[in-house]
């Protein structure tokens, strides 16, 4: 007669458990593209939870800009800060949001330099999920900045004639444009060697686009050559569309131009981003 030792029985049980775990038909389903993207979006939210100072650029920065430009230049440009606020507010909302979009590129550059994305690329998930999720997380930041700006504007006396629906439509258009513009910085985040380089290029690109637009003054007051640039500046089209939506005016032409700009940014820079990401 032979007896089986407890060690042998335990080893057999372990092998059986491993066989059950590794059996092909027992593997869990692969997450969908949406599920994986939302998971990485939640990761971006958790980063904000642990480092809430990241929200300074979408809270304190917009408040500072609104107060500074309204009360410093309102009297000189429109006769009073209250009158100028009616013109300035949609433009300063655009400025506050688009000037923070390059955070996406800096955060991505930091993750790449630390090797985090090397781990992500080995996971059995939709490949762009990590990038799309990070962008979706940033959309929440942009929405927070928009809410802060609207509340502050109402406190200061801004009254949108387009009503709540016009304001919501303007904010939705702003978020769509910011999401599309963020693809530019994801491409740069993968190309640049450091996050400081991404920030430097972002400032170099965005400052001329914002200040040579219709954010602060009417383009008719500018030289002819500068008016021509404003006419093709996507930031100017976005500001025009938001002013029209918030005031209840016809905004179809401007909205179409903004949506075409969004599509072009995603197609061009989204493709460049994924090509670079797949070759890393």
Number of residues written out for the chain: 280
In a domain, 19, yes or no: no
In this prediction the pTM is 0.83
Q: Which pLDDT score, from 0 to 100, does residue 11 have?
A: 59
User: Tens digits of per-residue pLDDT, 77-102?
Assistant: 888 888 999 999 999 999 989 988 88
Domain limits for position 243:
30-279
In a domain, 4, yes or no: no
b/e for 106-129, b at 16 or more Cβ within 10 A?
bbbbebbeeeebeebeeeebbebb
User: Tens digits of per-residue pLDDT, 147-182?
Assistant: 999 999 999 999 999 899 999 999 999 999 999 999
In a domain, 3, yes or no: no
In a domain, 2, yes or no: no
Domain count of the chain? 1
In a domain, 22, yes or no: no
In a domain, 6, yes or no: no
User: Tens digits of per-residue pLDDT, 59-77?
Assistant: 888 888 889 889 988 888 8
In a domain, 21, yes or no: no
Rounded to the nearest integer, the mean pLDDT of the chain is 85
Contacts of 98 (CB under 8 A, 6+ apart): 177, 178, 181, 206, 209, 210, 235
Lowest model confidence (mean pLDDT) among 127-136, 173-182, 232-241:
127-136
In a domain, 9, yes or no: no
């Amino acid at each position: 007669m032979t007896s089986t030792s407890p060690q042998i029985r335990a080893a057999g049980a372990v092998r059986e458990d491993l066989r059950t775990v590794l059996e092909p038909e027992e593997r869990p389903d692969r997450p969908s593209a949406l599920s994986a993207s939302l998971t990485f979006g939640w990761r971006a939210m958790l980063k904000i939870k642990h480092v809430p100072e990241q929200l300074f650029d979408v809270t304190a920065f917009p408040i500072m800009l609104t107060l500074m430009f309204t009360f410093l230049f309102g009297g000189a440009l429109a006769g009073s800060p209250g009158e100028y606020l009616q013109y300035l507010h949609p433009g300063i909302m655009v400025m506050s949001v688009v000037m923070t979009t390059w955070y996406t590129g800096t955060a991505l550059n930091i993750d790449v330099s630390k090797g985090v994305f090397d781990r992500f690329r080995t996971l059995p998930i939709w490949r762009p999920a990590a990038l799309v999720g990070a962008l979706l997380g940033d959309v929440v930041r942009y929405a927070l900045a928009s809410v802060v700006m609207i509340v502050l504007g109402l406190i200061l006396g801004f009254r949108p004639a387009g009503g709540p629906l016009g304001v919501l439509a303007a904010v939705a258009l702003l978020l769509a444009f910011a999401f599309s513009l963020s693809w530019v910085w994801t491409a740069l985040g993968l190309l640049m060697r450091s996050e400081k380089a991404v920030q430097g290029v972002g400032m170099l690109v965005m400052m001329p686009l914002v200040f040579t637009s219709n954010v602060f003054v009417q383009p008719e007051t500018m030289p002819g050559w500068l008016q021509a640039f404003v006419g093709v500046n996507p930031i100017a089209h976005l500001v025009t569309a938001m002013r029209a939506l918030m005031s209840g005016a016809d905004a179809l032409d401007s909205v179409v131009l903004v949506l075409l700009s969004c599509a072009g940014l995603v197609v061009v820079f989204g493709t460049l981003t994924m090509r670079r990401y797949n070759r890393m």
